[in-house]
Structure 1
Amino acid sequence: MAPSVAEIKAVAVDPIEAAKQNVKTEAVAEDKLQGPSYPFYYPYFDVNEKFPVTELFEHSDPGLRADPKKPRLLTPNVKTTNISPYLGTEVHGVQLSQLSKEGLDELALFVAERKVVIFRDQDFKDIGPDRQIELAKHFGPIQRHPTSGNVKGYPEFHVVYRDAQHDRFQEYAGSNRANHTSWHSDVSYEKQPPGTTFFFILDQPENGGGDTLFLSQVEAYNRLSPEFKKRLEGLRAVHSAVYQAEFSRKRGGPVRREPVESEHPVVRVHPVTGEKALYVNQGFTRHIVGFKQEESEYLLKFLFDHIAKGADFHVRARYEPGTVVVWDNRVTVHSATPDYSATFRRHAVRLTPSAEVPTEATA
């Protein structure tokens, strides 16, 4: 999901009161469009909002506690359909909001195994912000985005919003590009980047589009030759938040904490499955530590091209009312697909629990 930016005006209703009453506003201030179905989650930007430096914490993945048979998550009435052998499963017949702690542990394991899981017919968007946050926090402290739109009083939410009056995606992605695919792993610049991540749709284009592309970084790694894998293991790369922060500043948006840069292994290991995965992405990876500029650019270009061209280990997550997508940011990258007219509204919310410091792969 492309990062939101900071030129969206406030809705002409009190969003908290509207949400409490389940009121659907009839207009967005100044643009006279029908308002968002869930005005509580309209993106909020406060240039004076500041966050402290993120502190390191001990993390134990809930998937390590899970029953591998997943009896509380995958009950007999649940239907699962794999989209690809490598990643992506559609699930019908279970409500995420009703899972016990043990069921959430099983969810963490299931998502680690399948990388991207698309849950249909969910009531998640209607259970309220406190319960949504409570469920997401089972997987780790929720990352508070330094520049994107959030929800007033609830900085845990990352809001994705686009309509005819508010369309900055192409400018952020690069308006002079032939395509707008931009593979990234969310906020990989953090010292402890995200693991199990939740994304739920509120409004979507009526005529289709606005899906999300995902790919398996595990399979991307597996396709490499044994000798090339050996060369990558032990390398580290710098992931940077600087461009994202500068873009927000130029737009008069918030920078809630100064941008960070972190070194992460080029190949990391998942703490639950033990799988090795590439951990570089076009959005935030800037250079290989210890390499000269030309060497780093050459290697990263190869890896970015390899990732982007691997259509046989890509999937497309299609949204419909009630969809919640849960994915593992450690072993996937994804890209927005702004293939719909901006006359339609696309409104969604992400909750992004932080996970462990990436673990380096060894031969």
Structure 2
Amino acid sequence: MSHPRDLFHVPAENGAYLLAHSVGCQPRAAAAALDTDMLAPWRQAGGDAWPLWLETIDGFREQVAALLGVEPASVAPQTSVSAALFTLLSGLSLAPGKNVVLLSEQSFPTIGFVLAPLARLGLTPRFIPAHEDPSDPATWERHCDGAVAAVIAMHVHSNTGLVAPLAEIAALARRHGAVSIVDTAQSAGILPLSPTRWGVDAVIGSCVKWLCGGPGAGYLHIRETLIPALAPLDVGWFSHENPFAFDIRDFRYAPDARRFQGGTPSVAPFALAAQGIRTILSIGQEQILANNHACIAAFEDECRQSLGWSNRGGTLCLACDDPQALSQILKTADYAHDFRGNVLRASFHAWNTEEQARTLARFVKQAGMVITPAR
């Protein structure tokens, strides 16, 4: 391998692919993993493929555990971040007067959408206004009190890149007897993850972005000592202590995170996602992050402007005054990117180079843009 880029199928071959924050590039090993772990057992064994397919699911749990530095027994596969959050919150036992879920308006919208129907269970969202900085511990301190049952924080905010103070949020939640939950969809695969060091109770995430695992595979990690206190409503036969007991009158929660797994699992997404994580870990997250920082530094140097990116994630989130003009220049140059309102989002992953970052900066200057870090 001459460059980590060689491990991926990279679109925008004549330009630059800067959309790791949306959909990571497909690993070249993904097709073989899909065949080995899902298609070949089906082709060769039919209904007897299930033991091998369940090994694939367990392999995914092991890869996520390695990514997070936790035990596989604390990890449950999920179809999405939304599914993970719903099944987790549905399992809370609410004390009288303690039913508030605290989150920032800067959270990804699906977080708020999940909370809306959970009002039927008595949960009430409390939104920190979008103009208040979610990277400042004092912001969370102002809005948390004894009525809060759960606190949900984005590790990295998708439209600004701001990083939440997770250890401080977890400590605040503990003081108020609340469960702390972290969404790592925009950080897994680029920033170090350590639920144990943070002291958080749960982690939810997706594999489609920086982890290059494709859509349909998410994960839920629960602190092991908390698991027995949670009784999720969204269950299936794989949530059972013994999925093969087949007694319709006898449901018992699995003792570990499998209680959140639900019904018959989809195998293909987890086969692909496990390979995505293996690819990222084989390169080394430290190397990917170092390349990301080097690219951002090259962008700053070419722009002759310091962006102050020390407490941000891997995606440049830059507010600009004429997004349509800049977007047209980038599209013409085959520089894959996106905008959220007037905010340019561009991510540097293992397949990107410092020269691509400098070229992006030259396009910004060509468009005559005034750029500032999004807030």
TM-score (norm: length of structure 2): 0.24
**Higher RCO (Cα < 8 Å, 6 or more apart):** 1
Relative to its length, the structure with more helix (as a share) is: 2
Larger Rg: 2
Relative to its length, the structure with more strand (as a share) is: 1
TM-score (norm: length of structure 1): 0.25
